[in-house]
Homo-oligomer: A and B are copies of this chain.
Amino acid sequence: MSLIKIIEILAILVGAFSGFIEARSKRMDVVGVFTVAFITAFGGGTLRDILLDKRPLFWVTHDEYAILIFVLALTAAPAIRTLRKIVSERLIVVADALGLGLFSIAGVSEALAAGMPLFISSMMGVITGVFGGILRDIVCNEVPMVLRDGKPYAICSFVGCWVYLMLQRADTPADFSLWFSAMLISALRLAAWAKDVKLN
> Is there an interface contact between A29 and B200, defined as CB atoms closer than 8 Å?
yes
A165 at the interface (CB under 8 A from B): no
A171 at the interface (CB under 8 A from B): no
- Give Cα A59 to B51, complex, Å: 11
> Is there an interface contact between B154 and A199, defined as CB atoms closer than 8 Å?
no
> How many chain copies?
3
> Is there an interface contact between B51 and A46, defined as CB atoms closer than 8 Å?
yes
Name the residue in A123, A140, A152 with the highest tally of chain B Cβ atoms < 10 Å from its Cβ.
A123
Known: A29-B152, A152-B29. A60 touches B116 (CB 8 A): yes
Q: Hey, which chain B residues are within 8 Å of A116, CB to CB?
A: 60
A91 at the interface (CB under 8 A from B): no
A89 at the interface (CB under 8 A from B): no
> Is there an interface contact between A66 and B120, defined as CB atoms closer than 8 Å?
yes
Q: Hey, which chain B residues are within 8 Å of A134, CB to CB?
A: 139
Q: Hey, which chain B residues are within 8 Å of A50, CB to CB?
A: 50-51
Q: Hey, which chain B residues are within 8 Å of A57, CB to CB?
A: 51
A90 at the interface (CB under 8 A from B): no
> Is there an interface contact between B120 and A150, defined as CB atoms closer than 8 Å?
no
Name the residue in A29, A63, A152 with the highest tally of chain B Cβ atoms < 10 Å from its Cβ.
A29
Known: A31-B155, A119-B70. A147 touches B200 (CB 8 A): no
- Give the nearest-CB partner of A158 in chain B: B31
> Is there an interface contact between A63 and B119, defined as CB atoms closer than 8 Å?
yes
